[in-house]
Structure 1
Amino acid sequence: MPFFFFDPTMIIVLPAILLALYAQFKVKSTFNKYLDVRSKSNLTGADIAYQLLRNEGINDVSVERVSGELTDHYDPRSKTLRLSSNVYGSSSLAALGVAAHETGHAIQDNVDYAPLRFRHSLVPVANLGSQAGPFLAMIGLIFGSGFLLNLGLIFFAGAALFQIVTLPVEFNASSRALKLLEKHNYLDRQEISGAKKVLNAAALTYVAATLVAIGHLIRLLVLSRMMDDD
């Protein structure tokens, strides 16, 4: 991810970095809090995922357990919804919220949700940009090469664009999740409030990541301008 240099332009990124640290703390603390609150339905995260998929007429997506904590994700290539152990087998509000959110991504895939398709198309660009961009910019700064710095800036812009596009995809998945949980009466109104707090905390991490990427992109632009003025 973005690199660090001890120069005044770091002040551009610092607020976003602090927000990202807070977001990580917030999502873990909120998830752990509602991991101890069992839902009245007594359904597990895996149960919710299966039922929501079937309710939406989706029969080609499998649900699997994956190791780790907060490693839940949907893989559109293999049509697989992977839930971490403390989500897959848990009937907590946190587990049901996260499972429904990931199911929201599977539903997006099924209905050909345009922002999701666009984000998938950006994955190669984002991977290259997040790795090559900072490296090229660093080399450009060390050797005073404006060309390499600008090239790194262009590469990193792809990674920043990916983060920006991720926001509507994640917000939409959470919105779908909460509406479906309430529509099918899997959670009552009070329980929905708890699940929403978990998903809102998770959303903050995406907002923070986007702001960090944008901050670094602006910083590269400033450094490029400073080099041109020298």
Structure 2
Amino acid sequence: MKGSSASDEISCQVLPSARCLFDEPVQVKVGGLRSGQLVTMRATSIDERGVVFSSSATYRADGNGEIDLDRDPSLSGSYVGVEPMGLLWSLRADTLHQYFLKNKVLEPHVVKLSVHEEEGEGRMLAEVINERFLIGDGVSRLSVKEGNFQGVLFTPPGEGPFPAVLDLCTFMSEKRACVLANKGFVVLAVAVYTDKPDNVKEMHLDRFEEAVDFLRQQPKVRCLSNF
């Protein structure tokens, strides 16, 4: 995608596609710069609470006016050296002691990547939006309430049978279950705590056994004698 605020020849690309799975690496490339030009690359994302996370790194274009994060080192900024995914893993909140909240698995993690002039006010030269999806194509998501337990079931596409995983989360979270389902597992995510831990006087483990039995009964699950 080419930036709208600068020369039409300057581009910022996310390869092989600007839309990908959450855990997939991508290649970020910039073209159309001057030979040896210094630019600042920035990444910005907003979590579900509205907290802004950002990172930046300074790069120098090669003799062809190109920058390739798979090849070129960051000279300064949020990280230094060759880090192909550095702009993503170095994202930090603008306020201290914040973690990135991402619970809505049906909505992508959206990251804006932009290229800015190193001189003056850092005019933006190009930008691209990277949409990182937690749930893969064809993976189904089903809220479950059976007996004494409730959770969310993720099932990969295809006939199966698939191996199954009971994902016990301290508090309800679907991110890990999604990633596993993308890899070919039937996953049931169940929260250990359904209330604040201080309010829990006793915990009945039979609901987890019910969850395992529920998984065994799924038609796409590969049943084993010792599950």
Larger Rg: 2
TM-score (norm: length of structure 2): 0.27
TM-score (norm: length of structure 1): 0.27
In proportion to residue count, which structure has more helix?
Answer: 1
Which structure's relative contact order is higher, taking Cα pairs within 8 Å and 6+ residues apart? 1
